Amino acid sequence: MHERGILIRIWFIALLLLVSFCGLGAKLCYLHLSNHSKVTGREYKRTLLGLRGGIYDCNGKQYPMAVSLPARLFYLDPKSVKKEHDVGQIARTVSQHLGLPEAEVQAQFRRTDSRYIKLGYSLDDRVFEALSDPLTISGVGAEEMVIRRYPQGRRMSHVLGFVNNMGVGGAGIEQQYNRYLTGTPGLIEGEKDAGRREIFSRRKVYVPPIAGSDIYLTLDHRIQFEVERAIQEVVEKFDALSGWAIVQHVRTGKILAMASFPDFEPENYTETTLDVWRNNALAIVYEPGSIMKAVTVAAMLNERLATPTTEFEVGEGVWFYAGKPLRDHVYGRVTVSTALKKSSNIACAKMGLRLGAQRLENYLRAFNFGSKLGIELPGEENGILARAKDWDKLKPTRIPIGQGIAVTGLQMINAYSTLANDGRMMRPYLVDRIVSPSGETVFQARPEVIGRPVRPDVARAVREMLTGVTEEGGTGKRAAVPGFSIGGKTGTAQKAVPGGYSSTDYYASFVGFVPAGEPVFSVLVSVERPRPQHTGGFVSAPVFGKIAAATARYLALDPDLPSDEEDGLDAAQP
Amino acid sequence: MRRNRKRQVYAKVLPRSVAGLIVLMVTLVLVYWVMDSKCAQLGQEIRKCEQKIQMLDAEYAREESRWSEKNTPEKLEEAMLQHGIAMSYPVADQVVRMDASGLPIEGQLSLARFKRSQSATERVVKTLPK
């Protein structure tokens, strides 16, 4: 009996234990196998930021021009400030770390209309730690965000463009290549514990974020710096409206620098106006003036209608055609070579007549005037070139001297690069390659020949004639580069206004290539409405010289002329 | 009290199978609990490592950006001026081009030496007075 009692007690305990453990087991199964998180509110969801791709210059990752950085946006919820925390102290801490005026922060705390008041962002993790201290701070929250930084400031602003507050490219490369640059966000879905931390073992979904592709440009930030500095100086010196310059590698068509002034800060693009965002190098259409004469002469030589020594009668410096006078500063009979060197209007006008309207138009279109070159930036203009059949009687005499036709700076420099490249026209480009986050090259640019408007011997002959421009008697002496021969042309064009031309506003230009014999790069400089001096020879030629000298030195080109320059080196006394 | 040596107890406490089942279940539960704790701990560590990687990546990107801001041509010129150094890019015969293996391309050094020997003067870098 006694033993039976013991047995019953043992069985009872055993049953109790069995039921307990079965119950625990059942609960465990329920917890693991059922989707109970929605019921208990332990769902965890977090979006992982996919960073936007970077933009780099031709030197690679050591010189980032645009990068995306993870940051935290801090916001205020006045209603969630705890009673035991001092609002004044919180405001002080916030203002100290985010650089905001303390009074302003205090005022935000008094607001009752919103529970999400943006304060500012910070890149620094220490700021996040300071503003997340639960012992002293409440009512301040942080959310992850990505900001776009341009470490070199205003450098290449017109080429890079900017990103708006939605993270979408709004101009330049940022806009044109938005699809490549945009990253893909990732996702984590799972459950969180009582401390609102993710329970890793309960993670259901993990999609890693994918960063955007990186873009490597052909531009060199060091050449760009020299160009931007030179353009800014000339615009400020001559109180001009704007200025632009392009440096191009003639054999490949690569753009080494492209600058436009006034410029802007891509990080604060909203502080400037729309016209400042415009890249004048390809969006301003203007009459080029005398820099067009080299194209006219090239067409004449290519058609074998003249040679460099063929003479044209210029007369007393004024010539009437179709009832309109054309003035010149050259007199008597001039050769084609001299006409280019001294920039004779009448000689070039007569060349235009000899060519004829249709042939002239054909050559201009062969040099890509009147249509886009397809550079990888938005906003490129076609230029204005009417069909020959629509020209009046005067146009064949005016277009050869750069009037009655409107071009972009890019079209002009590309035409000169064509002459420098033995008549081969290359497509201008400024994106060298695009690399995906995994390191795969998604796109690699290759130099592309897009036309051959003139024969190589013609191109060489024109180059030789253009070297005379910087010699004694030439209009571009100020463009000389110590140690290097250059070929180039000045241009001074009246600005077109409704009803005719302005008598006070001009475009002053100089375009050329270095070295003249075997050109490596070409440079165009144009200044809009310089004053009081307004000629290409006075305003733009020295800028060309400055840019070309710096570029030649940077590229370590071998001088092809003897130079007396000491280059900052002193000959010590023996 | 004297012990009854002949007394034998034939009582069955628990069948062996039931006892075994209970012990097995308890063991399973205990093992599961230990492994679950360990998994949770590892999960926490993985999560912390993920956060650390993210933080380090972000810090690296920020440092790169900060370095680039210090490395602009303007800042370099400013720094040189501050230290009284006047420098520009070298002329062509002061430049030695290297090939992929790190050796100077043939002929350059001898050309540079020849040109310098032609000028036959010592050259020193000009330093601006502070």
Give residue-wise pLDDT tens across range A516-528: 989 999 999 999 9
- The answer to whether residue B128 is domain-embedded is no
Question: How far does B4 lie from chain A, in Å, by closest CA?
Answer: 16
Interface of A with B in 540-569 (CB under 8 A): 550, 553-554, 556-559, 567-569
| B126 inside domain | no
Task: Flag if B43 and A125 touch (Cβ within 8 Å).
Answer: no
Residues in chain A with CB shorter than 8 Å from the CB of B18 are: 14
User: How close, in Å, is residue B11 to chain A by CA atoms?
Assistant: 6
pLDDT level of residue A81 (50, 70, 90 thresholds) = confident
Looking at the structure, tell me whether residues B53 and B104 fall in a common domain: no
Please report the pLDDT score of residue A470 as a whole number: 83
Do B84 and B96 sit in the same domain of this protein?
A: no
A339 within 8 A of A297, measured Cβ to Cβ: yes
Pair B77, B95 in one domain = no
Residue B37 in any domain: the answer is yes
Tell me which residues of chain B, numbers 96 to 125, contact chain A at a CB-CB cutoff of 8 Å.
97, 119, 121-125
Q: How far is A62 from chain B (nearest CA, A)?
A: 8
Residue A70, strand partner residues: A146
Alpha carbons A89 and A468: distance in angstroms, whole number: 75
Residues in CB range of A277: below 8 A, 6 or more apart: A158, A171, A264, A269
Place of tokens 């475009």: A507
In this predicted structure, the answer to whether residue A574 has a pLDDT above a threshold of 60 is no
**Three-class DSSP category at A152:** coil
> B53 and chain A: CB distance < 8 Å anywhere?
no
Sign of the four-CA dihedral A220, A460, A466, A299: negative
Of A151, A569, A574, the CB nearest to B125: A569
Structural domain contains residue B127:
no
Q: Is residue B3 domain-resident?
A: no
- The verdict on B56 and B112 lying in the same domain is no
Domain count, chain B: 2
CA A395 to chain centre: 36
- Residue B1 in domain: no
Residues B33 and B73 in one domain: yes
- Give contacts of B9 with chain A, Cβ < 8 Å: 3
Q: Are residues B44 and B24 in the same domain?
A: yes
Give the nearest partner residue to A152 out of B9, B22, B68, using CB atoms.
B68
The parts of chain B modelled with pLDDT lower than 50 are: 121-128, 130
Q: Give the Cβ contact number of residue A381 at 10 Å.
A: 15
Find, in chain A, the residue whose alpha carbon is nearest to that of B52.
A125
Q: What is the pTM of this model?
A: 0.83
Q: What's the CA gap between A247 and A222, in Å, rounded? A: 12
User: Closest partner residue to A69 among B61, B95, B123, by Cβ?
Assistant: B61
Query: Do residues B17 and B71 share a domain?
Result: yes
Query: B108 and B75 share a domain?
Result: no
Shortest CA distance from A25: residue in chain B: B29
pLDDT at A106 over 90: no
Is the ipTM above a cut-off of 0.85? no
Q: For residues A148 and A336, give the distance between their C-alpha atoms in angstroms, rounded to a whole number.
A: 54
Within 111-150 of A, beta carbons closer than 8 Å to B belong to 123, 125, 149
Fold of A221-269+280-554: Beta-lactamase (3.40.710)
The reply to whether B32 touches chain A by the CB within 8 Å rule is: yes
A201 and B71: CB-CB below 8 Å? no
The mean pLDDT of A108-123, rounded to a whole number, is 86
Q: Same structural domain for residues B51 and B105?
A: no
Q: Scanning the structure block, which residue is given the tokens 């965002």? A: A277
Domain with B115, as residue range(s), is 91-120
Tens of pLDDT, residue by residue over B42-56, are 988 988 898 899 889
B47 in a domain, yes or no?
Answer: yes
Contacts with B55 from chain A: Cβ below 8 Å: 125
User: Does B84 share its domain with B97?
Assistant: no
- Tell me, yes or no, whether B48 and B74 share the same domain: yes
Q: A24 vs B69: CB contact, 8 Å cut-off? A: no
B30: in domain: yes
Shared-domain flag, residues B16 and B80 = yes
DSSP reduced 3-state for A371 = coil
pLDDT for A105 equals 87
Structure tokens at A385: 């070139």
